Structure 1
Amino acid sequence: MRKKIGAALVGLAVAGTTMLATGSASSHGYTESPISRQKLCANGTVTNCGPIQWEPQSVEGPKGFPGAGPADGKICAGGLGQFAQLDDPRGGAWPTTKVSSGQNYTFSWRFTARHRTTDFKYFITKSGWNSNQPLTRAALDSQPFLTVPYGGNQPPETLSHSGNLPSRSGRHLILAVWTVHDTGNAFYACSDVQF
């Protein structure tokens, strides 16, 4: 009886370790350009960020945005409570990347686990949105201004692609969504920009 219980405990320990290992390997990517809120926390530009400062690559939530995915007000954190600081607008004081309307902009990603990818989508806030409120779908254009299909391929460690920015003025937020091809998840990155 003792041998069976011991074997069962060892089996559970191995299964748990395997699940932890595969779970941690399943989340990893963020935008470097325009710089995302999670990268600003990780590089120390912004402080009081909580655990995202140690794992900027882990903002992973349900895919299907905007029809599915994280709830309104929790989009920048991918719906993950431990990263709620990313949803805090900080009085509109997040550092911004300077951009221009119509600019052919190069978006850059860094991956620490390179998943097969369906696409990358980029949404932007509407004119008149409130930068003092957490991000909601109503604050964003309903359609992405840029979609980059990736055909189920695996990206390299870093990836860049270009697209034209829409016409805007003032402060805005770009939401980048990396859709993983073979899981039910996507990665979310919010970048504050100044036109």
Structure 2
Amino acid sequence: MSARRRTVTPTRIAAAGLAPLALVAYAAVPAAAHGSMTDPVSRVAACYAEGPESPKSAACKAAVAASGTQAFYDWNAVNIANAAGNHRALIPNGQLCSAGNDKYQGLDLARADWPAGPMSAGPHTFRYKGTAPHKGSFELYVTKDGYDPTKPLKWSDLEPAPFAKATDPGMQNGDYVFSGTVPNKSGRHLIYSIWQRSDSPEAFYTCSDVVFGKDNGGGNGGNGGTGAAPSTRPSTGNGTGTGTGTGTGTGSKPSEKPSAPTDQQIADGAGKSSVEHNGHGDNDPKTNGAAGASLPSPSSPAPANPADPGASAHGNLAETGGNSATPSIAIAGAGALAVGAAVLFAAARRRATTAGRRGR
């Protein structure tokens, strides 16, 4: 065996052993994303802040009764795994706040007494808590004049175009922060957010109740309301709630203002959350994703509700990143493979050396 042959053989074997290192480093970067609007506060975040076990407002009590407590410990996961921009096609009318997820059906209760924060026309700084940060795009819609909160929210209740859009906004203290100009409204309204991931078809949705000026309990088109509309879906909550979620609010008086969950509340509830942050794209049902799942095409029909005219799909926008677990996972995997590669290299070198001696 020539010297060149003896050199190349161990090198090739070592390269074959080391090749998986690049793969494990790539595969160990999880696609992770969760969060919810905190200014203006979303319904799910407000009810979590009140406490899933003992909410204070009538609306949150009704929502927990309809969905169970677990939905609110999982406050940052109102999502569709394979949305791919087809939001209007995939989410039926009356289920916008839950994004069509039975788990969060309490958020769809048509009530005029959801805790609502003050809002005014003009420039506003929005905040969205990103509990598993990544890059993506935000779109905010507001309800049309004449919105009646005592009726189930439909796509046609929203203004056709978003009043605020942001791509890859910066973060401050764990919040995505971006600006927009709020249109002129009066009375009770709702701001609907869509957060579309840029590396994945997954998207997140929130409903935030707001009041422009005086809270008349029913928006411009409201009539004082009954404060509740029974859900058409059976309760599937796996927490303590078992009621129908109709509540007792009258909608005739201003509701209390919502509060966003504090960092301490988020930390305290993390142990009760069933949300998995590191497994999107695998076959674990907890992630709402499946390997190789086909993505809906922009022209696919709605499963329960036709898409409104003008609905469009959003493409990939940017690159995502991993989370704090990424380096340790990558290092552990790389280390194990490095040991195996070293053994292969040593064995190949011994064989090459022995063969060379015999050939002399």
What is the TM-score normalised by the length of structure 2?
0.44
Question: SS in structure 2 opposite 1:82?
Answer: helix
Once residues 101 and 66 of structure 1 are traced to their aligned partners in structure 2, the CA distance between those partners, rounded to angstroms, is 26
Shift in Å, 1:26: 4.0
Q: Which of 33, 46, 52 is the aligned partner of 1:40?
A: 46
Shift in Å, 1:115: 2.7
Structure 2 equivalent of residue 193 of structure 1: 210
Asked if the contact 1:63/1:69 (under 8 Å) is kept, the reply is no
Shift in Å, 1:186: 0.9
Shift in alpha-carbon separation, 1:105–1:154, aligned structure 2, 3 A: closer
Asked if the contact 1:41/1:52 (under 8 Å) is kept, the reply is no
Aligned residues: 167
Structure 1 equivalent of residue 159 of structure 2: 141
Structure 1 residue runs of 4 or more that deviate by more than 6 Å after TM superposition? none
1:96 partnered with 2:116: yes
Q: Which of 115, 125, 150 is the aligned partner of 2:143?
A: 125
Q: Which of 100, 116, 119 is the aligned partner of 2:135?
A: 116
Q: Judging by fraction of residues, say which structure has more strand.
A: 1
Asked if the contact 1:101/1:168 (under 8 Å) is kept, the reply is yes
Asked if the contact 2:33/2:133 (under 8 Å) is kept, the reply is no
Structure 1 equivalent of residue 193 of structure 2: 176
Asked if the contact 1:116/1:154 (under 8 Å) is kept, the reply is no
Structure 2 equivalent of residue 9 of structure 1: none
Once residues 54 and 34 of structure 1 are traced to their aligned partners in structure 2, the CA distance between those partners, rounded to angstroms, is 19
Structure 2 equivalent of residue 15 of structure 1: none
Shift in Å, 1:66: 5.1
Once residues 165 and 154 of structure 1 are traced to their aligned partners in structure 2, the CA distance between those partners, rounded to angstroms, is 20
Structure label with greater radius of gyration: 2
Question: SS in structure 1 opposite 2:89?
Answer: coil
Shift in Å, 1:63: 4.3
Shift in Å, 1:67: 4.1
1:55 partnered with 2:61: no
Once residues 63 and 193 of structure 1 are traced to their aligned partners in structure 2, the CA distance between those partners, rounded to angstroms, is 28
Shift in alpha-carbon separation, 1:146–1:192, aligned structure 2, 3 A: same
Structure 2 equivalent of residue 87 of structure 1: 108
Shift in alpha-carbon separation, 1:65–1:108, aligned structure 2, 3 A: farther
Residues 37-76 of structure 1, C-alpha deviation per residue, up to 9 Å, x if partnerless? 0111101153342232201101012242554342211111
Once residues 53 and 161 of structure 1 are traced to their aligned partners in structure 2, the CA distance between those partners, rounded to angstroms, is 25
Once residues 93 and 46 of structure 2 are traced to their aligned partners in structure 1, the CA distance between those partners, rounded to angstroms, is 22
Question: SS in structure 2 opposite 1:92?
Answer: coil
Q: Judging by fraction of residues, say which structure has more helix.
A: 2
Shift in Å, 1:155: 5.7
- RMSD between aligned residues: 2.0
**Structure 1 unaligned regions, length at least 5:** 1-21
Amino acid at match of 1:115: H
Once residues 135 and 26 of structure 1 are traced to their aligned partners in structure 2, the CA distance between those partners, rounded to angstroms, is 29
